[in-house]
A and B are shown apart, each in its own frame.
Chain A
Amino acid sequence: MKRIYFDHNATTPVQAEVFEAMLPFLRDEWGNPSSIHWAGRAPRKAVEEARDKVCRFLNCSAAELIFTSSGSESDNLAIKGTAFAKKSKGNHIITTKVEHPAVLNTCKYLEREGFEVTYLGVDADGMLSLDELRAAIRPQTILITIMYVNNETGVIFPVDEIGKIAEVHAVTFHTDAVQAAGKLPLDVKLLRCDLLSISGHKLYAPKGVGALYVKKGARLIPLIHGGHHERNRRGGTENVSGIAGLGRACEIAARDMDKETERLGRLKHRLERGLMDRIPHVKLNGHSEKRIANTANLSFEFVEGESLLLNLDMIGIAASSGSACTSGSLEPSHVLVSMGLTPEISHGSVRFSLGRANTEEEVDYLIEKMPPIVERMRGMSPLWNEAEKKGALIDFEKKSC
């Protein structure tokens, strides 16, 4: 069976060059970077070199970067770390209804801890209203946390403008840039953020490594207490190979971004056009322009997106309906619901997120295979009769193992 991967917003494969960069630290250079002796020297050097690479990618200084275990940890550290550090100054946080669960559920947790959270809505295109944001700011507001790119729709939020607003009101601003990394320039100076999260495995680095940019002077209470790692802000012996991989991945992302963005944009266009031309009643979700190049979120009316995904999986095509949740179940998308889509239409949505290895042939395979599946599913309501003709009737009397 073919294996076609259109789910790069969920995770990406580790790139060969990244793998090469990691290998020494899984094999020969296994020392602890904190050791003073010979064994620690190469790993220490690798961690700091990787830090420089990530910092170049984000345009920040080495002292402003914390390595973490994931995008979720970066988000948690940014949000809880700030909230707890600034508790005496206020208890109000502003975010949006369409954030990743790592942000939403962290905010919900803080609500139980006595913080107040405003969840800004989005319009039918998935866009925010900056006026609404301005109006939500109060004297007690200590943190604004708003994502750069939405993981489900690919919609881009005007982070630089949000940064300006936060600056004017002297509110700390965090952005979850996990889905933006490698797809849009991430210059923290231009974005005017105080904190920014990225994740390795969305960027062709391995799972288990992420990073958080923390602007010089921003106060943060650590989540993981331990040794003096990461300038006392994140205990735990460094994931040296993962960090080396992340460093290399950032280098490559910066090098190839323009070229890849253009290529993926063309592929995505081919995919969207191809499906929309061949399948009636398809709706594109998310702003038509303010969207990253790799993500296509389409609603197929009159079918369950979930069943559609399973059908695609059975012919080797990997796509998804939103963020993969821990239990691996498929849930109605909080993002699409926030955009005002009816439950029926949001249930019929599928996200295709393209990546480096995808080709025109793969997109064409999808365009060829998908219309009959949708057609069959749409024609299924009086499904019993047809099924009856074809399926052999089977008897189960006394059949043991």
Chain B
Amino acid sequence: MNGKKVVVAMSGGVDSSTAAALLKDQGFEVIGMSMQLWDYSERGARDTAGSCCSLDDVYDARRVADTLDIPFYVVNMEEVFSREVVDYFVGSYLKGFTPNPCIKCNDVMKFDVLLRKSMEIGAGYLATGHYARIRREAGACRLLKADDAAKDQSYFLFTMTQDRLKRVLFPLGSLTKDEVRGCAKKFGLGVAEKRESQEICFVEDGHYSDLISTRAGARHASRPGDIVDRLGAPLGSHNGLFRYTIGQRRGLDIKDGQGPYYVVGMDLPANRLIVGKEDELLSRGLLANGVTWITDGPEDGEGVDVKIRYRHEPARAVISRRGNDVRVMFSTPQKSVTPGQAAVFYRGEEVLGGGWIERAIG
């Protein structure tokens, strides 16, 4: 174990590359690691630019490691990824949920498997290029939002625990994206101008339906059914519930001229897609399960801010805890509460914890 030895999870993007450079600059003994998560070879040479973890990106990461003159390793984690992330992703859609694979990937791939590997090779820390901060206080580590509110990624990190936070560094937490690009340029990293990764890395061109059909069987996944309103009146038909998410407007084949309609729910047993008008998207609250807290968590009945999807302006809410389930009641109704997404609880800039949305309330 060496407190000055840090493994940096390098994706080949500007953020993790700069994180590695900053740590090296501060005198750490830095080791780069890329995770090979998905086998692209069977698909031929598709352009995977714009997503993380493609072979091109591994190549970029290796180039950065060469520039920084640090050891670099690629670790094959395809098996775990397929089981823990891709299966979860497919399974969620088949349940009528909208999954968040990035949270799962952080939780399992980075801060479990890769963190363990880092410790196994004698590193004191694992660092990533996430925009979030860790405050290390006597007795507890606190996870905080990034200083750059536009880039804050703390939502994706709610599954962190004390054990993990102690061993993790987020070198970019206090920097803006522009500052990061500036650093990358200053350090002479070839990836300084590389564009952001936004796509889900294992989904081709945003067409997740192909993946789900392949994994689950097209007949099973694409079972056609009715589109109905809340009262059950038929308005049209759909070809597989997994193609829809709460709040979705586009892609609904409804020709009654009364639109626009939005997806407001799914009736899985009846294989029906429920649509409604915009105001029907509002909910007074939600139920979340699998909730974990980074420190002790808030008191029952305490007011917190809650974020129900990544790009959601946090809403005031009161929570009540029952084991790992939490009932959240908003101060003002919120739009498009989506089962499968995460509800993440904040007190000011601090992430208290979070869980998975089971269903909307009212």
Contacts and interface: CB of A to CB of B under 8 A. Distances in A.
Given A306-B117, A311-B121, A391 B1 contact: yes
A397 interface: yes
A330 to B, nearest CB: 6
Interface residues of A, number: 34
Interface string A43-59: 00000000000000000
A303 B2 CA distance: 20
Nearest to A388: B166
Contact of B1 (A303, A386, A395, A397): A386
A328 B58 CA distance: 10
B166 A310 contact: no
Given A327-B58, A395-B136, A384 B76 contact: no
A396 B167 contact: no
A393 B168 CA distance: 10
Chain B interface, DSSP helix/strand/loop, else mixed: mixed
B117 A399 contact: no
A332 to B, nearest CB: 7
Interface in A289-306: 303-304, 306
Contacts of B2: 391
A399 B75 contact: no
A393 B79 contact: no
Contacts of B76: 306, 329-332
A401 B133 contact: no
A142 B312 CA distance: 63
Interface string A318-355: 00000000011111100000000000000000000000
A314 interface: yes
A380 B119 contact: yes
B66 interface: no
A398 interface: yes
Interface in B216-274: none
B36 interface: yes
Interface in A166-218: none
B60 to A, nearest CB: 12
B202 interface: no
A394 B1 contact: no
Contacts of B169: 394, 396
B166 A399 contact: no
A390 B179 CA distance: 33
Interface of B: 1-3, 18, 21-22, 25-26, 36, 55, 58, 62, 71, 73-76, 79, 116-117, 119-122, 124-125, 133-136, 163, 166-167, 169-171, 173-175, 179, 182-183, 186-187
